[in-house]
Amino acid sequence: MNDAPSTSIHIAVPPSPAAAYDVIVEPGVLERLPALLAERAPAASYAVISDANVARLYGTAVVERLQSAGLSARLFIHGVGDAAKTIESWSALADELLAARVGRDRRVVGLGGGVSGDLAGFAAATLQRGVAFVQVPTSLLAMVDASIGGKTGVNTKHGKNLVGAFLQPRLVAIDPQVLRTLPEQELRSGAAEMVKHGAIRDVRHLEQLRDDAAAVRQGHGAALHQLILASVAIKAAVVARDPLESGERAVLNFGHTVGHALELLTDYRLPHGYAVAIGMVAAAHAGEAASITEPGTARALRETLAALALPSSPPMPLSADALLAAAGTDKKGRRGRTRYVLLRRLGEVAQPPDGGWTFELSDDIVRQALAALRPAAAGQL
Ligand code: GLY
């Protein structure tokens, strides 16, 4: 039974009108995927790509539903987790797809979390120099972030997402009902990216996240559906203005400079959203210390994160030197210098006088911000 009306957001990605696509957020949309694909992404056949867990929960049923509707479809399964987002997995998947004669008249469907979307998208971007693809995200993080905007790719030993391509999907189909099976830690991780969207663009979205924190943490309800739509709308608006991240799209990296450093220092044991949550608080403290961010912003951000059971302090004492060194390897640095997205206030990013979107901060300011992050009690994560 659907618990909210169908709604969609249209993203027009310049300069090519052909790159415009819809993000449909609709409870139960998985059931009408055959009709939707036939209409929005017609093809001779569909290659559905999932990890083993999502394949068991939804992948087999999706492929059977496509076949029952008279569409040709086949499931391709890759390994579970970030460890599977490698050049080797991409290579194995590309070989399987080529062996199954997946070419330009077929469609690749990424069904799963961010790993499946990124891997499927990168396979689609590179196979025969580009096969159209569709994103069907099943984790909250993939719904509000990874599936929107056309970033695809894999990790290498040099860092995350360092080999990849931009390929906008033909369609993003989001079924919030699948969130019922998502573990709470993954719901929280996705919620951190929603907090980021509110922090950079819309303070009312932040207030709504606080008011409806229970729905987010439980993974169901009409309120969660509306929050997903609001987050998608914020990300879509940024991506439509700067699809290739040559400027404004950098604001989506709020919290990610320290966040990526924390992931690196914890050997990626800290979930991405948790790292971003802590990174956002660090960036708010840094902005306040540099008199760029309105005082009280870090405190308000902490309160919202706490309502969503997200951490705002690292899980262990951190050496500022180690963190500064790790942050220096973030690929968003320009000319080798570490740069930070900062807020003017909640709901608004600050812009430096040169009209850019990121700030270079002195090590002293960053050290002050890191000192303001108290380590969480053992076991919190
Ligand atoms: N996840 C940030 C972006 O898509 O640009």
Q: Report the C-alpha gap between 99 and 295 in whole angstroms.
A: 59
Q: Which atom of ligand 1 is nearest to the CA of 151?
A: 4
Single out the residue of 297, 275, 289, 294 nearest to residue 185, CA to CA.
275
Q: Is 163 a residue whose pLDDT tops 80? A: yes
Over residues 226-284, the pLDDT tens digits come to: 999 999 999 999 999 999 999 999 999 999 999 999 998 998 899 999 999 999 999 99
Q: What angle do CA 184, 33, 49 make, to 5 degrees?
A: 65
Residue 120 CA, ligand 1 centroid: distance in Å: 17
Q: Which residues contact 334 (CB under 8 A, 6 or more apart)?
A: 358
Which structure tokens are listed for 170? 């033909």
- Mean pLDDT, rounded, for 110-135: 96
pLDDT at 18: 66
Residue 27: band (very low, low, confident or very high) from pLDDT cuts 50, 70, 90:
very high
Q: Which residue has the tokens 């970033």?
A: 151
Whether residue 141 has its Cβ less than 6 Å from ligand 1: no
Q: Is 344 a residue whose pLDDT tops 50? A: yes
The maximal CA–CA distance of the chain, rounded, in angstroms, is 63
Q: What is the mean pLDDT of the chain?
A: 92
Residue 149 CA, ligand 1 centroid: distance in Å: 7
- Mean pLDDT, rounded, for 370-380: 66
Burial of 93 (0-12, 13-18, 19+ CB in 10 A): buried
**Gyration radius of the chain over CA positions:** 20
Whether residue 145 has its Cβ less than 6 Å from ligand 1: yes
Q: Is 58 a residue whose pLDDT tops 50? A: yes
Q: Is 337 a residue whose pLDDT tops 70? A: no
Whether residue 151 has its Cβ less than 6 Å from ligand 1: yes
pLDDT at 6: 63
Provide the phi-psi class of 316: left if phi over 0, else alpha when psi is between -120 and 50, else beta.
beta
Strand 359-360 and strand 21-25: the pairing is: unpaired
- Residue closest by Cα to atom 2 of ligand 1: 252
Residue pair 283/255 in contact (Cβ under 8 Å)? The answer is yes
